[in-house]
């Protein structure tokens, strides 16, 4: 219980002010399309130069936590995920906002983020030594299977068409391979100068989610718009709390999946929300309601992406291995203060390490409070007329994509992907599987290549990729996920056929 | 097994066939590039993905040809007519105006154009234009404060900022 001795450090005036500032700033930055948690933390690093190490880390930790949760605001209200971690949130969150439950969606999103986040940080506090050993057990073959498991989710993420879901995922995987190959340095699929640096995930996210929304608003034409794109009415926090508790299964799945995914170095928190969303849908009694405004989808996604924050720091603080891109930036923040993370971090710098971790715990609570306050003001966004909303989202998308690498090439890519996605959506393709493919592509490829190299030096790929308890467990999960996707699609088709038969019979009678 | 569920909306076969053919063409290009370019080690993973993508694209195309694809609500002539002016403004902003006028000036023009094109209020009233200009200027000021002053993002400059 050493961490309890360092709680006082969090409430020192400067520390608490930074925690507060980091949380509020993080929520705003997270809600801004194009500003990912990684970028927000990177932007804040120069501000920590002049601060003592503990305070600097408190600021970075608060920003990390709040930006992950803040991304839900734009995901729910504008259907533009603030970060890849919020993709799954936008699926049901925006549908809830479109049907007058915007405040409720924001409430449950922040409450679920808070629960997931607290559990994640508690895991960080109590299980760091055990979890760090477990995290080390993941080699290239396991990470490859993890990525493939993520790919299998693709098919079931698109509830409308299994084929088009998988095809969207393949398009995403192909997009992730554009640019220079990391190992050989060979040019791949560079059909235009703008593609030289590859397709940046943030740029792609903005294009794929924001531009189709804008075009959809434009498609309504120049007419009197009585109904805004989303409607956010005042809703009781108590009702939202009851809703959260009623969806305990989604909350548990989200928190569990997020904690496990966060712990695995390299997989990244981006897929935690999507995996939790998919698992919640598979275990739900009403899977068809997902994507149409089921709060369980928001709860699972948001609890997962905040639950991964704490565990993603376990390999960083104990083994110097960043669990996510943001953790890698945090590692930079530690190093500039002369702190080298490792197994002796808690012996050499107990005040820095424990105060930082404690601040993340308090930060989760502050994030929930300020998030709910944001939700109460979100109604203003809902009252913006569609022409202004369309123009504002366009400009935000342009600036957001440009600011990622300060390149016009990214703006071209964003616009091309956006228009292409709009056309594909019109014929039944979905954005979520495409983005998941884009995220998982580099992880799957890097570990496949690394695994193949190791396998060649050993007894061949079959033994390397298909032996060992963890490999077999992941393989079984992959097969089960594919089987379930086929089975659930088959069930949905049968249900639909029965419904249409019943309708025909009743019409004839 | 029918992979499409029954939430499908009726959509003409041509509207399914054209995108299915386009996706198939893209899959063919990706496969061709993956299997013909060197060094082959760099294209090992792309070849795996391209093969799966080609199979799925072919399956999708066959389904569309046979009229079995039913998912999606397609494009309407009215919708395309409504989208075109706004999309032209965005494309002009990105490819032309940003380079010659500057990113902020072009964005100001684009915001005002999109807002005005789709605003149901009368174009002949002076007060309406004042409101549009004020809202556009206020929004771009916030964007300027966030991106240029706070985040120090350097945007392309032309005649103006």
DSSP for B99-159 reads HHHBHHHHHHHHHHHHHHHH--S-SS-HHHHHHHHHHHHHHHHHHIIIIIIIS-----BSS
Q: Which of residues 437-476 of A touch B (CB under 8 A)?
A: 441, 444-445, 448-449, 452
Q: Does the pLDDT value for residue A382 go beyond 60? A: no
Task: Calculate what percentage of chain A has a pLDDT beyond 70.
Answer: 82
With CB atoms and an 8 Å threshold, state whether B5 touches A489. yes
Owning domain of residue A167: 2-508
More confident residue, A221 or B125: B125
The answer, yes or no, to whether residue A208 has pLDDT greater than 80, is yes
For residues A490 and A440, what is the distance between their CA atoms, to the nearest angstrom?
27
Residue of B nearest to A491 (CA): B5
What is the ipTM, given to two decimal places? 0.90
Region A31-54 average pLDDT = 72
User: What is the predicted pLDDT for the residue at A320?
Assistant: 65
Residues B83 and B60 in one domain: no
- Quote the CA–CA distance of A90 and A241 in Å, as a whole number: 20
Q: Per the CB < 8 Å rule, is B53 touching A174?
A: yes
pLDDT of residue B1: 38
Q: What angle do CA A360, A362, A368 make, to 5 degrees?
A: 100
CB contact under 8 A, A500 and B6: yes
* Least confident among A262-271, A280-289, B91-100: A262-271
- Tell me which of A391, A397, A410, A436 to substitute to probe the interface with B (most B C-beta atoms closer than 10 Å): A391
Highest mean pLDDT pick, A211-225, A273-287, B40-54: B40-54
Query: What does the radius of gyration of chain A's CA atoms come to, in whole angstroms?
Result: 22
A262 with A269: CB under 8 angstroms? yes
Q: Output the pLDDT for position A251.
A: 92
* Within a domain: B6: no
| pLDDT digit string, tens, across residues A392-439 | 889 988 988 888 888 899 999 999 999 999 999 888 888 878 877 887
- CB interface of B with A, residues 93-152, below 8 Å: 93-95, 98-99, 103, 107, 110-112, 114-115, 117-120, 135-136, 139-140, 143, 146-147, 151
**Residue A379 sits at the chain B interface (C-beta within 8 Å):** no
Burial class (CB in 10 A: 0-12, 13-18, 19+), B111: buried
Q: Which domain holds residue B102?
A: 78-150
B98 with B134, same domain: the answer is yes
**Dist CA B153 CA A406 (whole Å):** 7
Give the C-alpha separation, B130 to A206, whole Å.
31
pLDDT at B130 over 70: yes
CB contact under 8 A, A426 and B74: yes
C-beta of residue A90 within 8 angstroms of C-beta of residue A205: no
Residue B1 lies in a domain: no
| Sequence-separated (6 or more) residues with CB below 8 Å from residue B52 | A166, A170
Domain count, chain B: 2
Taking only the tens place, the pLDDT of each residue in B84-93 is 999 999 998 8
Question: Would you state the pLDDT for residue A381?
Answer: 62
* Structure confidence at residue B4 (pLDDT): 42
Q: In chain A, how many domains are there?
A: 1
Instruction: Give dist(CA B38, CA B46) in Å, integer.
Output: 12
Write out the two tokens for B105: 């000036």
Q: Does B66 touch chain A (CB under 8 A)?
A: no
Measured between beta carbons, the chain B residues lying within 8 angstroms of A186 are 37-39, 42-43
Best of A144, A170, A207 to mutate (most B CBs within 10 Å, chain B): A170
For residue B114, give how far its alpha carbon lies from the nearest alpha carbon of chain A (Å): 6
- Alpha-carbon distance A222 to nearest alpha carbon in chain B (angstroms): 4
Whole-angstrom Cα distance, residue A328 to residue A324?
6
Query: Among the ranges A25-29, A122-126, A394-398, B109-113, which has the highest mean pLDDT value?
Result: B109-113
Q: Where residue A118 falls among pLDDT bands split at 50, 70, 90? A: very high
Sign of CA dihedral A257, A435, B27, B55: positive
Mean pLDDT across the stretch A338-349? 74
Single out the residue of A248, A250, A262, A233 nearest to residue A107, CA to CA. A233
> Cα–Cα distances in Å, from A157 out to A40, A290, A402, A460?
29, 9, 29, 34
pLDDT at A506 over 60: no
On whether residue B103 sits in a domain, the answer given is yes
Question: A164 to chain B: which residues are within 8 Å by CB?
Answer: 60, 71
Q: Does some domain include residue B159?
A: no
Span A231-260, average pLDDT: 84
Q: What is the pLDDT of residues A444-497, one digit of tens each?
A: 888 888 888 888 888 777 788 888 888 898 888 888 877 777 776 677 667 666
Contact indicator for A302, A296 with CB cutoff of 8 Å? no
Average pLDDT of chain A, as a whole number? 80
Task: Tell me what pLDDT residue A149 has.
Answer: 76
In a domain, B24, yes or no: yes
Cα separation, A316 vs A327, in Å, equals 7
Split at pLDDT 50, 70, 90, the class of A266 is: low
Residues β-bridged to residue A161: B4
The most confident of the ranges A31-45, A265-279, A347-361 is A347-361
* Contact criterion met (CB below 8 Å) for A76 and A106: yes
Q: What is the dihedral of CA A389, A390, A395, A397, to 10 degrees?
A: 100
A292 touches chain B (CB under 8 A): no
The pLDDT of residue A225 is above 60: no
pLDDT at residue number A178 = 94
Q: Per-residue pLDDT tens for A44-90?
A: 776 776 788 888 888 888 888 888 778 888 888 878 777 777 888 88
Q: State the Rg of chain B over Cα.
A: 23
Q: How confident is the model at residue B123 (pLDDT cuts 50, 70, 90)?
A: confident
Mean pLDDT of chain B: 86
Residue of A nearest to B68 (CA): A161
- Flag whether B72 is in a domain: no
Instruction: Extract the tokens encoding A193.
Output: 């100068």
Chain B residue with CA closest to A178: the answer is B46
Residue A124 C-alpha from the chain's centroid: 20
B89 in the same domain as B28 = no
| Confidence band, pLDDT 50/70/90 cuts, at residue A504 | low
């Amino acid at each position: 219980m050493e961490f309890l001795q360092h709680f006082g450090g969090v409430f020192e005036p400067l520390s608490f002010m930074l925690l507060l500032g980091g949380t509020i700033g993080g929520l705003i930055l997270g809600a801004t399309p194009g500003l990912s948690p990684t970028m927000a933390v990177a932007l804040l690093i120069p501000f920590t130069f002049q601060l003592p190490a503990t305070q600097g880390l408190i600021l970075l930790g608060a920003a990390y936590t709040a930006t992950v949760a803040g991304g839900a605001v734009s995901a729910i209200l504008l259907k533009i995920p603030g970060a890849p971690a919020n993709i799954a949130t936008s699926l049901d969150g925006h549908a809830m906002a479109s049907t007058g439950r915007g405040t409720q969606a924001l409430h449950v999103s922040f409450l679920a983020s808070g629960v997931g986040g607290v559990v994640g940080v508690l895991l960080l506090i109590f299980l760091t030594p055990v979890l760090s050993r477990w995290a080390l057990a993941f080699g290239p073959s396991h990470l490859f299977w993890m990525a493939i498991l993520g790919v299998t989710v693709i098919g079931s993420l698109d509830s409308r068409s299994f084929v088009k879901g998988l095809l969207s995922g393949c398009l995403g995987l192909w997009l992730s391979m554009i640019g220079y190959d990391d190992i050989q340095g060979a040019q791949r699929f560079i059909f235009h100068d703008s593609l030289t640096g590859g397709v940046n995930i943030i740029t792609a996210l903005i294009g794929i989610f924001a531009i189709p929304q804008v075009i959809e608003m434009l498609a309504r034409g120049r007419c009197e718009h009585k109904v805004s794109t989303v409607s956010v009415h005042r809703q009781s926090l108590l009702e939202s709390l009851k809703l959260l508790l009623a969806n305990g299964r989604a909350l548990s799945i989200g928190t569990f999946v997020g904690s496990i995914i966060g712990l695995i170095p390299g997989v990244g928190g981006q897929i935690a929300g999507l995996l939790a969303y998919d698992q919640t849908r598979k275990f739900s009694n009403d899977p068809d309601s997902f994507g149409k405004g089921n709060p369980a989808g928001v709860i699972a996604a948001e609890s997962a992406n905040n639950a991964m924050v704490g565990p993603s720091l376990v390999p960083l603080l104990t083994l110097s291995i960043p669990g996510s891109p943001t953790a890698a930036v945090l590692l930079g923040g530690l190093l500039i203060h002369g702190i080298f993370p490792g197994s002796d971090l808690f012996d050499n710098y107990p005040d820095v390490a424990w105060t930082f971790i404690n601040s993340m715990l308090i930060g989760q609570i502050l994030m929930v409070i300020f998030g709910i306050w944001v939700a109460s003001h979100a109604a203003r966004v809902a009252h913006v007329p569609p022409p202004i909303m369309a123009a504002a989202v366009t400009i935000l998308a342009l600036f957001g994509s440009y600011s990622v690498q300060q390149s016009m090439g990214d703006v071209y890519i964003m616009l091309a992907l956006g228009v292409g996605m709009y056309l594909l959506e019109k014929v039944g393709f979905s954005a979520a599987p495409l983005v998941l493919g884009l995220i998982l592509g580099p992880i799957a490829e890097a570990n496949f290549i690394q695994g193949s190299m190791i396998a060649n030096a050993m007894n061949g790929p079959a033994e390397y990729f298909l032996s060992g308890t963890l490999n077999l467990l992941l393989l079984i999960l992959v097969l089960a996920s594919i089987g379930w996707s086929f089975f659930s699609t088959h069930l949905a088709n049968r249900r639909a056929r029965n419904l249409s038969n019943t309708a025909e019979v009743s019409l004839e009678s | 097994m029918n992979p499409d569920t029954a939430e499908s909306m009726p959509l003409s076969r041509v509207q399914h066939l054209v995108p299915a053919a386009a996706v198939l063409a893209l899959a063919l290009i990706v496969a061709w590039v993956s299997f013909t370019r060197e060094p082959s080690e760099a294209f090992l993973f792309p070849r795996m993905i391209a093969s799966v993508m080609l199979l799925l694209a072919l399956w999708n195309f066959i389904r569309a040809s046979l009229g079995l694809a039913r998912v999606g609500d397609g494009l309407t002539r009215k919708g395309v007519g409504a989208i075109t002016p706004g999309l032209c403004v965005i494309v002009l902003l990105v490819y032309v105006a940003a380079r010659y006028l500057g990113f902020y000036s072009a964005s100001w023009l684009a915001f005002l154009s999109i807002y005005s094109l789709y605003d149901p209020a009368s174009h002949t009233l002076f007060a309406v234009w004042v409101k549009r200009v004020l809202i556009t200027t206020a929004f771009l000021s916030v964007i300027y404060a966030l991106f240029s002053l706070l985040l120090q993002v350097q945007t392309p400059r032309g005649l103006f900022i």
